[in-house]
Homo-oligomer: A and B are copies of this chain.
């Protein structure tokens, strides 16, 4: 039986990825699995696929806001889209990859703190200076974080991760791959869990 990590593709701007982030590690832990969080640039992905942020579509946008609120409440959370949503979350994504090398124990705490700031407080913390303050709140050096998110190697890392994700078929977020099987959407987490339990069907 495999114990491979679940690949969890996300963009920090994706509210459905936020919903998945609230459950995925706990679910994985029940089955002795790790979760590899992999931020990607959803904007670049959308260009290839020919789609866009769900909230920008007529009819679909208003529904999505209602569905998000309802789905969050079902999990016992509130969700709040910041003024001007959606924003580019490059600093958070780059900072996350930097931390996975520089101080891996702080990567997920930072990611969770960013998600909470953006979707619970509903505060736009996407400017690099604000993202760095979120990092500082989990013990990361603020100045080092700000340097890192401007580092060419880190920028390239995020581009490479995004490109590699598309090579694996990723076209949105959240997107999970477990034992080679792809799942799209926070509403597929139950299928992911059943897939792990049963080895597929």
Contacts and interface: CB of A to CB of B under 8 A. Distances in A.
A62 interface: yes
Contacts of A49: 57-60
B166 A201 contact: no
Interface of A: 48-51, 57-60, 62-63, 66-67, 70-71, 73-74, 166, 169-172, 181-185, 187-188, 191, 194, 201
Contacts of A169: 59, 62-63
Given A74-B191, A182-B63, A171 B57 contact: yes
Contact of A51 (B57, B70, B166, B172): B57
Contacts of A172: 60
A60 B74 CA distance: 27
A59 B201 contact: no
A167 to B, nearest CB: 10
Top 6 A-B pairs ranked by shortest CB distance?
A59-B171, A60-B171, A187-B187, A49-B57, A49-B58, A49-B59
12 contacts: A49-B57, A51-B51, A59-B166, A59-B171, A60-B172, A63-B169, A63-B171, A66-B182, A67-B183, A71-B191, A185-B187, A187-B187
